[in-house]
Structures are given as C-alpha cells and as structure tokens.
C-alpha cells in the first residue's frame, strides 16, 4: 500500500469534507450545499461506500484528495501532506528508498510471525499439559485449533529465540516482530497461543493465555505495537469470519479473543473481537465494508457503557445500525455462556437491543428516578447520548423515551435538550469558487452514461451515437456498456480500474439523479441528451470547417476551399433537419 492509499484508508471522506460542508445523511450518501457555488438547494453529495464526492452544481468531484485540492487551493503534493498529517501517516516511510525498505521489513516480520505460529503449534502437540488445557479444559476441537492456528509457548527462557535463530532471524528481527521481552528473551512463556491475523489471514501478532495459576502473571499477554500490529485497527478473526458475516448480514463484536474462538466452534462464525479495546473509527471503517449491522457484546459496567457511547457516535456518523447483546446475568462472558448452552448465545444475539435503549436502561438502573436529583442526572446523561445521534427522527423518539423513564413531561425534556444544545462548529472556508456546470462541455455525455447505468433501454439508445469527440474516459465506459447487453452497472468493472474515480462519479449520478425516475422519464431525458450532444457536435464540426475554409481561401487553395464549402453545406442542412 502506498502513502496515498494508506491516507485514504485511515480517513473517512465524510469527516474530512464535513469540516467544510454541513452534511446530512441521505440514504447511503451524505448531502449538503455546494461550497463552490451559491446554490440554495443541496446538490453536493458524498458517498462513503464509493469514497468519492460529487457536486452537481459545479460538476466537480473526485476523492478526498481532489476535494482538499479544490477547497484549500492546493496541488496534489500539498493535499497529500495536509491529509497525511490528519491521518497520522509519516510520508517519509513511503519515499522510494524508505518504501522499499519498509516493504522488505514488513515481509521479513510476517515470515518471523508465521514461523513463530508454526513453532507454537508443534510445541502444543509435544506438551501433554498444554494439550490437556486446550482440548479438555477449554474444550476446543481439533478443527478450531487448526483453523485458528492455536499453539503453546514453552515455559522456558529462549525456546523461540533459539528456534528462529536457526532460521536466520536475529534478536533485532524478533524484537521488531514483538516476540521478545525487555530482557531479550521470549515474550510468551507457558501460554496457550492464539495468533492475531490481518484481514487476509497473515499472522501479525499473538495473544497468549496463561495456563494454570501463575502468581503475579497477567492472564492475557498481547503483542505490543509493531510495524505489523496496531491494536486500534486490528479486528481479531475478521479473516475467518468474513464469509459468515456476508451470509448473516450482520457482525457480532465481542471483547475477548477466546469468546470468538468458542463461538466459531459452536457454529456461530460471524463473530470477531476488538482485542479488549473500545471501538475505533478504523474498526468501523473495516466492518462497514462488510455490513451496516453491528451487534456489540460489551460488559454492562462503567467501562462498557463508556465504550458503547463512543461506538454510538462512530456508528451514527458512519450510518451503521448498532445494537447491544445482553448476556443472562449469571454468565460473565460469551465463552462461559456458550459452554453452558449455545442456544442461549444465539438467543442473545437474535434479541440484541438498540444501543441507545440499552444505555438508557443502564442509566435508569443506576439512578434513583424517584428523586429530583436522580431525574436530573438521568436526563442529563440521556440527552448527552441523544445528541450523538445525527437523525432528528431518532432524536425525537428517544426524547419521548427519556421522558417516559424519568416520569416527566416530553415538553420539559425537549426544553432541556434545546437549552443544552451547543453551537455548531464553524465550517472551514473554501479557497475558490468553481465554474457553473454549463461550462463543462462533457456534462451531457456524463449524464447519458449515468442513465445508461440504471436503464438498459437507455443504454440501447446510445448505440447510434458518434462518440469520437467524447473524452477518453467516457469513450471507454461507453464501449464497455455497449458490450454488456443485459447487466445493470453497480460497481467499477475491472476493465475500467484506471478510470476508477470517473466511473464512481457516473454511478453516483445514476443513483442520486436517475434511479428514482420512471423508465419513461429516463428515456425521454436520454432522447433529449442525445439530441443536444449531436447538435453540439455538429456545431463544433461546423465551426471547425468554417475556420479551415477561411484558411484555405486566404491561402488561395480553391480545390480545398470547394471541398470545405460542400462539407459545410452538408453540416448546415443536417442541423436544419435536426431542428425540425
């Protein structure tokens, strides 16, 4: 991944643009007033799914870099530096010399971690005590142990160091991979080892669970931050759960890695973990690519409530539906519940509660709502959560719910909510204004392609067009459309990857402008567009022939002049017939 892609992956495009434009959710996209023109009706769209923006009023669009270049008046390098700072990306790491060195370093660390995983697996098979713990105490099956590459770290000082030294890895290599402790020995000793994998299944670190009772030893030990492993970005078991998440249509996120392992063994495989950390923007970005339905199995303690509040903010901003899974009181975690009765775990997942309802219930249970102080503290906390919501209909619902729980009037709660509102953060000014859409000679071609995206009959109407004067990207898109007779285009075809941004903008035009139109209206619009395109093409040809005729007459080249007059007359007659 190069610097540009790393920056793009770390930033939500709607968050960056939201600093300049007041955006509101509009289906899967966000909508606002153009920052480049003086329009009164919102026609500026941001699509998190496609990672692009498009301004219908100025006909400008692109990725997050294109927006910053427009808004800040920057060139690409300046925009890259500006956004890299915001994303926390060190550009020097991606300079040609450093990038090559970094890639080679990452590859070596990946090999070291994979060899460590194999070493731990072999050690498990040769240690009866560890086998007893994994297969009898934890009740793990051979299949799940193989699927998760579970192993055992020997309870000796340098077993892994010696094993990998024979493979040519220095202590410096192992330290960079997070496999050494501060004394230069093995990081993990006497523990059941669970590899941490990236989304493609490569081992990037480990969780070690202590076996037995060891005084002053932490129950769990995790790989520290490395070039490969970032706790704030990593989602445990995402590579193993991807297919199940897509099939189920939702994802379950738990706190413990072994909760995930137990759930997968029980056949409920759309489950992942956030390595004991609260959800981050990076976690939301990763899961949103798979599903918009996220179910959290967090504890109901103070830390769990705080983590859920944070998740509500992120989910609301990302347009993700967030619900909370509550376990029966006698079970401390999903693993324990699954060992008792897996059907109870499935029931808890199926009866997940909307996150705000769950939080309001937690607040209500902890405060005495029969007292004035309790009502005051409850409504203050509840309204703080309601302000995290971006949808006014949701806000209205929970204002009513808060009034019901506090046994007070809705009007009183609304008044407190209104009185506590903070002023909206001022938007950043843009550096310049864009030209109106009429100045873009290709706008009609773009609209015709957008119509062809969502209506096959409109696509057939494009077959008679002469596209020789269209720009390269639109010609390539048109050619591909005409080859595919009966396919509605919903994503960028692999043949058009070099025009990725342009195709995404065309698709966004199709979704936001034409998708809701009737077939009759779309076909009428296409006929009008094709007439306008042909008229403009004829006018451009006429102007070109007229200029050539003047040059021929000035040069005294009568044969050339006569040919040009004939061609010019034909064009004029064609335009006259077209007007009739």
pLDDT single digits (tens) 202-217: 999 999 999 977 778 8
- C-alpha 344/C-alpha 395 separation (Å) is 32
473-to-124, 128, 425, 540, 552 alpha-carbon distances in Å: 57, 64, 39, 20, 34
Angle (CA) 415-416-420 rounded to 5° is 115
Q: Model-level pTM greater than 0.85?
A: no
pLDDT at residue 55, rounded to an integer: 93
Where residue 267 falls (left for φ over 0; alpha for ψ -120 to 50; beta otherwise) is: left
What three-state secondary structure class fits 231? coil
Per the DSSP assignment, residues forming a β-bridge with 191 are 153, 210
Pairing of strands 29-32, 44-47: antiparallel
Pairing of strands 293-297, 251-254: parallel
DSSP H or E segment with residue 151: strand 151-153
Per the DSSP assignment, residues forming a β-bridge with 32 are 44
What three-state secondary structure class fits 78? helix
8 Å CB contact between 287 and 294: yes
What three-state secondary structure class fits 331? coil
- Which class for 53: exposed (0-12), middle (13-18), buried (19 or more C-beta within 10 A)? buried
Tokens of 103: 């890639």
pLDDT at residue 435, rounded to an integer: 47
Tokens of 8: 């793009």
Residues 6+ apart with CB under 8 A from 548: 564
How far does Cα 436 stand from its chain's mean position? Answer: 31
8 Å CB contact between 495 and 520: no
How far does Cα 427 stand from its chain's mean position? Answer: 24
Residues 6+ apart with CB under 8 A from 379: 402, 406, 408, 413, 416
- C-alpha 364/C-alpha 10 separation (Å) is 37
What three-state secondary structure class fits 403? helix
**Alpha-carbon dihedral 256, 292, 504, 77, rounded to 10 degrees:** -40
Low-confidence spans in the chain with pLDDT less than 70? 1, 97, 276-277, 299-301, 304, 420-425, 432-441, 485-488, 574-580
Helices (DSSP H) in 290-354: which residue ranges? 302-318, 334-340, 342-350
What three-state secondary structure class fits 344? helix
8 Å CB contact between 3 and 11: no
Angle (CA) 182-208-326 rounded to 5° is 130
């Amino acid at each position: 991944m190069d610097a540009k892609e790393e920056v793009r992956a770390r930033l939500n495009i709607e968050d960056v643009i939201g600093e300049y434009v007041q955006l509101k959710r509009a289906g899967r996209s966000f909508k606002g007033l153009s920052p480049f023109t003086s329009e009164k009706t919102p026609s500026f769209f941001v699509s998190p799914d496609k990672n692009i923006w498009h301004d219908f009023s100025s006909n400008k669009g692109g990725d997050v870099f294109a927006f910053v270049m427009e808004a800040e008046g920057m060139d690409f390098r300046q925009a890259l530096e500006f956004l890299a700072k915001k994303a926390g990306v060190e550009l020097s790491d991606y300079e040609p010399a450093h990038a090559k060195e970094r890639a080679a370093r990452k590859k070596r660390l990946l090999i070291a971690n994979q060899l460590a995983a194999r070493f731990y697996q072999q050690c498990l098979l040769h240690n009866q005590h560890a086998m007893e713990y994994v297969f009898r105490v934890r009740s793990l099956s051979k299949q799940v142990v193989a699927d998760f590459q579970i192993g055992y770290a020997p309870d000796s000082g340098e077993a892994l160091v010696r094993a990998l030294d024979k493979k040519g890895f220095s202590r410096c290599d192992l330290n960079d991979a997070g496999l050494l402790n501060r004394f230069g020995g093995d990081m993990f000793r006497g523990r059941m080892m669970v590899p941490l994998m990236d989304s493609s299944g490569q081992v990037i670190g480990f969780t070690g669970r202590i076996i037995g009772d060891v005084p002053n030893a932490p129950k769990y030990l995790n790989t520290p931050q490395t070039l490969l492993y970032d706790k704030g970005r990593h989602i445990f078991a995402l590579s193993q759960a991807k297919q199940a998440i897509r099939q189920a249509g939702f994802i379950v996120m738990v706190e413990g890695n072994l909760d995930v392992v137990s759930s997968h063994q029980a056949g409920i495989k759309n489950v992942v973990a956030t390595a004991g950390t609260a959800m981050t923007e990076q976690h939301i970005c990763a899961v949103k690519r798979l599903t918009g339905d996220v179910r959290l199995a967090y504890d109901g303690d103070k830390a769990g409530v705080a983590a859920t509040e944070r998740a509500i903010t992120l989910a609301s901003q990302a347009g993700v539906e967030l619900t909370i899974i509550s376990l029966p009181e006698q079970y401390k975690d999903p693993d324990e519940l699954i060992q008792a009765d897996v059907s109870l775990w499935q029931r808890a997942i199926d009866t997940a509660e909307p996150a705000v309802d769950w939080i309001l219930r937690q607040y209500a249970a902890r405060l005495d709502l029969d007292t004035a102080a309790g009502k005051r503290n409850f409504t203050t906390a509840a309204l703080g959560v309601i302000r995290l919501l971006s949808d006014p209909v949701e806000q209205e619902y929970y204002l009513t719910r808060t009034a019901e729980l506090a046994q007070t009037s809705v009007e009183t709660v609304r008044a407190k909510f209104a009185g506590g509102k903070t002023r909206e953060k001022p938007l950043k000014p843009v550096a310049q204004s864009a030209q109106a859409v009429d100045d873009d000679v290709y706008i009609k071609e773009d609209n015709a392609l957008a119509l062809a995206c969502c209506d096959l009959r409109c696509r057939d109407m494009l077959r008679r067009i002469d596209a020789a004067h269209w720009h390269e990207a639109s010609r390539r898109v048109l050619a591909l459309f005409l080859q595919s007779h009966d396919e509605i285009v919903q994503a960028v075809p692999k043949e058009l990857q070099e025009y990725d941004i342009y195709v995404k903008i065309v698709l966004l035009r199709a979704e936001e402008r034409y998708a809701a139109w009737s077939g009759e209206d779309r076909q009428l619009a296409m006929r009008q567009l094709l007439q306008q395109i042909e008229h403009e093409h004829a006018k451009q040809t006429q102007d070109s022939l007229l200029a050539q005729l003047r040059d021929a007459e000035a040069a005294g080249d009568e044969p050339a002049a006569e040919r040009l007059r004939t061609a010019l007359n034909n064009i004029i007659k064609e335009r006259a017939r077209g007007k009739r």
